[in-house]
Structure 1
Amino acid sequence: MRAIQLSRFGGPDVLEIVEVPKPGPQAGEVLVRVHAAGVNFFEVLMRADRYAVTPQLPMFLGVEATGIVEALGQGVDASLLGARVAAPLFASSRPFGGYADYVTIDASLAVPLPDALSFEDATALMVQGLTALHLSRQSPPSAKSVLVAAAAGGVGSLLVQLARRQGAGLVFAAAGSKAKLELALSLGADAAVDYSNADWPGRVREAAGGAGVDIVYDIVGGPLTAAALEALAPCGEVVFAALGRYALGAPEMETMIGRNQSLRGFALLPLLSADVLRASLSELFDLAAGGELVMTKGGSFPLDQASQAHRLLEERGATGKVVLIA
């Protein structure tokens, strides 16, 4: 079978397509013929050795896939054969390998897909969907004013919708282009600001009645975090889920203390027991299948064009989820 291998760090062109043996399911596992695999920005960072943890090479990238169960390991329920499923590899004992024609995963982690939900859309609801859902659970937006950074991205576009669905008082979207702002507005944001304009925090404060917003969902990090503090109300909260791109120092923390503001960290995997994972994905899949969540598509690429998919993400050219079609 084909798989995308990373054997050295570098630009998108270091990704190479190789032939490897087709895996066989072990006891308790299923073999999934991959139809779609998600491409994530943290994988772009891994490829360039800019992630928080340097992975061991060689490795096969890809932490999420969807497809059809083609074979069963010993002890697996026979009804799973031929089922359309999501394979959240990131929650398994072998968290990589989704950029391939086949993957194996523990049968208890394979989540059935509604017939009305495409493989591509289901893929968009794994890492990004779970992140958006649990961000909104960690810091509920109900009756509060919230700011969603990167509001046209895979996580942000879903978080805008979930915040609106959960009764946020006001939803502000921050993004970096007119097209992305228009997308966020179409998904339910009340107002949108371009954070390439230096005065964007003041615009948010003004639109929020002068005091600022109650919650900032920060999935960007870096200089944006400090700027977002200017848009945060007294007693407000920054929820930080930005892949380790920290930029706050002692002056910013002192300001937050003086304004009774809080900084809350967010890490997805510790929140996901097997039961929580299955229930959360099933909830997202049902919402999407019923038309209550809209997935924004950033682009679909054949498996052998993984380097082009990485390049698109690296250049910030994608709006929504990027997937590989195996």
Structure 2
Amino acid sequence: MSAPLLEVDALSLRFHGAQGAVHVLDRVSLELAAGETLGLVGESGSGKSVTALALAGLLDAQADAAARRLRFQGLDLLDGSGRPARAAWDALRGRRIGFVFQSPRRALHPLRTIGDQLQQVLRLHRGLSARAARQAALEWIERVGLPEPERRLRAFAHQLSGGQCQRAMIALALAGEPELLIADEPTTGLDVITQARVLDLLAGLARERGLATLLITHDLALAAQRCDRIAVMHAGQVVETLPPRHLREGAAHPYTRQLLRATPQSANTLDALRGVDGRLPDLARTDLPACRFAERCPQAEARCRMQPPVAQRQGTAHRVHCWLPLAPAARPGAEHPVHPTPEAVPA
């Protein structure tokens, strides 16, 4: 079996400010294979976007990150102390790791044309001449489905619609021919039809190029439809990773079950729709529980607050970080969990 394209083991992250440290990520572990699409889902504020920024090496100077292992195609991205090695990321970002930002209009340079920005990527990361870069930029504008390529090449971001800005951002992210694309909420603010077109575009380009994709979204239904595997985040922790086919009836973590309960597809009427119990914890606290869902979980025990849960296998490609995972017989809507004894794997 080939090694994963991206390996993340026990990534933790703190931001230091005037009021102290904010413990944003806690022992996040992910793997992504070449050609695979992994969805990262969770509530707003669960740590999805900051995880994406960390994996692209885009954290600012106030970020204090550390990991047990962080590799891209076998390349170690950590220094000797377990901290991110910025020089290694600088060599990858744009060329081998592409990034689609959540707000493309703000991410695009307001004073430079789309063509200028595309040509800069092509010259910097692919070493093309000015003439070849302009031709390649036109080809990318056509490839992402922007009409009138010559005109779009001369356009500024404010002259494009939201969907057109997103397509331009995708062209910028892929023009360097990366092996990994990180797409952070790529359909935010777009209408339903444009959302589908943008996602179809991403999926088609990924298939064409054998591209690995990390798709950040709060939409479980979208993740289930578009992804090969789904990682569920809560308050900076990955609580469960599973195939989409296991999501509806096979989710084992209480938080995943509550997220499913909160989706529009789970209720026939608006009144029947239920949210996730409680609130996300304050990540600036010094007394955060080991499982950050413990204070929202109706079945939590003392050890949930005191001991980090060991990842447990629940079948092929399915892991849950929970001391009291729900068994199939207890799903959905069980009041009391069954305590299975699955094979334990490293956290």
TM-score, normalised by the number of residues in structure 1: 0.24
Q: Tell me which structure has the larger Cα radius of gyration.
A: 2
TM-score, normalised by the number of residues in structure 2: 0.23
More strand by share: 1
